[in-house]
Amino acid sequence: MRIVAPLAALSLTLAAGAALAGPQCNAPKDKWMKEADFRAMVEKQGYQIKTFKVSSGQCYEIYGHDKAGKKVEIYFDPATGAEMQRK
Is residue 10 exposed (0-12), middle (13-18) or buried (19+ Cβ within 10 Å)? exposed
pLDDT in tens, 3-37: 545 555 555 555 444 445 789 999 999 999 999 99
- Per the domain annotation, does 4 fall within a domain? no
What does the alpha-carbon distance between residue 60 and residue 52 come to, in Å, rounded to a whole number?
Answer: 7
Q: What is the pLDDT of residue 11?
A: 55
- Per the domain annotation, does 17 fall within a domain? no
- Per the domain annotation, does 42 fall within a domain? yes
- What pTM did the predictor assign? 0.76
- Per the domain annotation, does 56 fall within a domain? yes
Residues 6+ apart with CB under 8 A from 78: 25, 27, 32, 33, 38, 54, 58, 59, 60
Type of residue at 21: A
- Per the domain annotation, does 3 fall within a domain? no
Q: What is the pLDDT of residue 9?
A: 55
Q: What is the pLDDT of residue 53?
A: 97
Q: What is the pLDDT of residue 21?
A: 73
Residue 79: closest CA among 31, 38, 35: 31
What does the alpha-carbon distance between residue 35 and residue 38 come to, in Å, rounded to a whole number?
Answer: 5
pLDDT in tens, 40-84: 999 999 999 999 999 999 999 999 999 999 999 999 999 999 999
- Per the domain annotation, does 12 fall within a domain? no
Number of domains in the chain: 1
The CATH number covering residue 34 comes to 3.10.450
- Per the domain annotation, does 7 fall within a domain? no
Q: What is the pLDDT of residue 5?
A: 52
The whole domain housing 67 covers 22-86
- Per the domain annotation, does 44 fall within a domain? yes
Q: What are phi and psi of 25, to 5 degrees?
A: -110, 125
